[in-house]
Amino acid sequence: MRFTFATLVIAAFSQGIHSSPLTTSDATSLASKFPVSNLDALSNIRYNTTLGHGGLRSNAAGANLDPTLIVCESQNCAGNCIPFNLAVLPNNECFSALTNQFVSAGISDPTDAVLPFQVLVGSTNCASTVALPAANECFNLNGAVFNSFARIA
């Protein structure tokens, strides 16, 4: 039921989630400038994830904007990328309403603050997940298919 509710939330609020603060073209442009690292999902994956606590440190300073998850259909955060405003998403919910699979992801956070949550990307319904370890960096997600994410606090 939790996943069904999260899917409905995305459907109902998709404009708010996608539109602020970055547009799709802005997200693609921004993410393509991030340094790129490989994240081996097979060695870092969590199965049957229990949503827990954690923090994430940004590694770049800038304007005071909301952190945004950017997921991309191509390696190196290129091609078609979709932004999700992390500031408006509830904690500890899996969002599996993505119609396309993504193979790279990053978190845009122009502040130099510690984010009070983790961002996990995963397979359908977050059955297996991996945490994005840093902000303002693109992660090629190797070894798995990704189409869901969660903000964990």
pLDDT in tens, 66-124: 899 999 999 999 988 999 999 999 999 999 867 789 999 999 998 867 888 999 999 88
Kindly report the pTM of this predicted structure: 0.73
106-119 per-position pLDDT tens digit? 999 988 678 889 99
Residue 65 zone, left/alpha/beta (φ > 0; ψ -120 to 50; rest): beta
